[in-house]
Chains A and B, each alone.
Chain A
């Protein structure tokens, strides 16, 4: 047996190399941005552009008194609720629309129309319907995320390989198993990229919804800080959000994706 090949296969996939020069580059980039920020802040009043130090202090204040974690948890909870709801409805709906040609053709125009409706409009409707409550933000996230998930899953359903279905057919595999063992794995990468997009969008629109129709959450606190001209707090909240999204992406989504789709051959980079 070809042992060389065997070794290659059983060797763990080479992890993305920790390149020292890359780390240095990134640190230099962050340093440059903070430097420019600092120099610029020296020329301006602090309520227009607070300096890095001031923002850092404000960040420590809101994290020390629990304000930060409390509101972050509220917003994250709302985004998660809207997103999970969108997944629970969008995933089966996308599969059904993709698997059934007639239905798909009939409903096709709805998705682009829904995508053109601005999240601000959903927010206004939500306030009319739900008032100032959790439901408002959840609804806006839901209405933004769902079309994205449906579209992607729908597209994924179309790529299901007829050869695999035929194979399952010769094995007389029951229909629900075909769904589970062939449709779902085919759709998963599409679903994943849709869900990712939906989560990112959902997160952003949740802030809009919270500034308009909520009395808690990061969006609400952002607006409050702006109203009171606490610009350093606005900056602090913004930085928190950026850091959290980056951590979520690199700490959870990227590794999960790498694990789920390890069967995909990585294109050799040139």
Chain B
């Protein structure tokens, strides 16, 4: 590319941000005719390799925001850039994984075949696909359950299959909507450790939504607190604690209290 010199002010910034949300607003049509204002002027930058948590009350538009970042929903105002490219022009969507709030497992596929599904969009030899899916299931602690159908799994196990499905692509950007909300406390903290370990290896950028303040402090580099009706960013708090973080230490508790006060 030919450099346009000093005038090209966007590119150096864009290179360091994996995700830029730029003045995004969104309305939904509603039954009474008055459009529902769901997101209002959201601005967000997520640095490459960092972990961002989004906290906020139910219905304040967190899932909608992730849908917009993932490109499946168009904002009514503003724009989203992925790796510095406006999302309409962004091509490499397979490097962006989205773990939905619901597990969305295909009921007619076994756990293993559900994980494989993510790899089937592109072409890949069957044996390799199987091996990768197997590894991903192992990663979320579900080896032995490859041949179980979704109806045979508990809610927590199902969401772990969904997690495996979004990890199997080895994404550069991982969007997760309440990924651990259906797990018991013990499994959840196991998954936290696991996620941080994978993050240490792959260094993907992670944006996740949670209702759990403690989870956001333990995992994230920064936490965005959203306010409802219409959804907007109330505050962004950087978590300056070295990892691994222990939820019982006073500095973590301080952050938790501060965030609780903001919600």
Interface residue stretch chosen among A47-55, A168-176, A214-222: A168-176
Give A38 to B142 CA distance when docked, in angstroms.
Answer: 63
Interface residue stretch chosen among B54-62, B97-105, B240-248: B97-105
Please give the distance in Å from A249's CB to the nearest CB on chain B: 23
* Contact B149 A262, beta carbon cutoff 8 Å: yes
Give A139 to B94 CA distance when docked, in angstroms.
Answer: 49
* Contact A166 B121, beta carbon cutoff 8 Å: no
Contact partners of B148 in chain A: CB under 8 A: 9
> Given A9, A177, A265, which contacts B145 in the complex, CB threshold below 8 Å?
A9
**CB within 8 Å of B: which A93-144 residues:** none
Q: Given A163-B102, A166-B72, A169-B72, verify A6-B144 contact (CB < 8 Å).
A: yes
A164: Cβ under 8 A from any B Cβ: yes
**CB within 8 Å of A: which B97-116 residues:** 97-98, 100, 102, 104, 106-110
A30: Cβ under 8 A from any B Cβ: no
**CB within 8 Å of A: which B109-130 residues:** 109-110, 117-118, 120-121
Give A263 to B102 CA distance when docked, in angstroms.
Answer: 19
Q: Given A185-B108, A263-B108, verify A9-B93 contact (CB < 8 Å).
A: no
Give A168 to B104 CA distance when docked, in angstroms.
Answer: 10
0 or 1 for each of B150-167: is its CB under 8 Å from A? (1 = yes) = 111010000000000000
B141: Cβ under 8 A from any A Cβ: yes
0 or 1 for each of A178-222: is its CB under 8 Å from B? (1 = yes) = 000110010000000000000000000000000000000000000
A10: Cβ under 8 A from any B Cβ: yes
Chain A residue nearest to B148 (CB atoms) is: A9
Chain A residue nearest to B111 (CB atoms) is: A9
Give A181 to B106 CA distance when docked, in angstroms.
Answer: 10
* Contact B106 A170, beta carbon cutoff 8 Å: no
Contact partners of A265 in chain B: CB under 8 A: 151
A167: Cβ under 8 A from any B Cβ: yes
Please give the distance in Å from B74's CB to the nearest CB on chain A: 13
Contact partners of B150 in chain A: CB under 8 A: 263
Contact partners of B110 in chain A: CB under 8 A: 263
Chain B interface residue count, Cβ-Cβ cutoff 8 angstroms = 30
* Contact B109 A263, beta carbon cutoff 8 Å: yes
* Contact A1 B144, beta carbon cutoff 8 Å: yes
- Which of the listed residues B121, B147, B149 has the most CB atoms from chain A within 10 Å of its own CB? B121
* Contact B72 A6, beta carbon cutoff 8 Å: no
* Contact A173 B120, beta carbon cutoff 8 Å: yes
* Contact B104 A10, beta carbon cutoff 8 Å: no
* Contact B144 A263, beta carbon cutoff 8 Å: no
Please give the distance in Å from A88's CB to the nearest CB on chain B: 23
**CB within 8 Å of A: which B78-108 residues:** 93-94, 96-98, 100, 102, 104, 106-108
Give A6 to B147 CA distance when docked, in angstroms.
Answer: 11
Please give the distance in Å from B8's CB to the nearest CB on chain A: 30
* Contact A164 B121, beta carbon cutoff 8 Å: no
Chain A residue nearest to B152 (CB atoms) is: A9
Contact partners of A6 in chain B: CB under 8 A: 144-145
Chain A residue nearest to B150 (CB atoms) is: A263
Please give the distance in Å from B7's CB to the nearest CB on chain A: 34
B20: Cβ under 8 A from any A Cβ: no
Please give the distance in Å from A265's CB to the nearest CB on chain B: 4
Give A264 to B106 CA distance when docked, in angstroms.
Answer: 11
Q: Given A10-B147, A163-B102, verify A171-B109 contact (CB < 8 Å).
A: no
Please give the distance in Å from B250's CB to the nearest CB on chain A: 35
Please give the distance in Å from A12's CB to the nearest CB on chain B: 11
Interfacial residues, chain B to chain A (CB-CB below 8 A): 70-72, 93-94, 96-98, 100, 102, 104, 106-110, 117-118, 120-121, 141, 144-145, 147-152, 154
A-B contact pairs, 29 of them (CB 8 A): A1-B141, A1-B144, A6-B144, A9-B145, A9-B147, A9-B152, A163-B102, A167-B104, A169-B72, A170-B71, A170-B96, A170-B97, A171-B94, A171-B117, A171-B118, A172-B93, A172-B94, A174-B121, A177-B121, A181-B120, A185-B106, A262-B149, A263-B107, A263-B109, A263-B110, A263-B150, A263-B151, A264-B107, A264-B151
| Beyond A6-B144, A263-B110, A264-B151, 16 extra complex contacts between A and B, CB < 8 Å | A1-B141, A9-B152, A163-B100, A166-B100, A167-B100, A167-B104, A168-B121, A170-B70, A171-B117, A172-B93, A172-B121, A174-B121, A181-B106, A181-B117, A263-B107, A263-B109
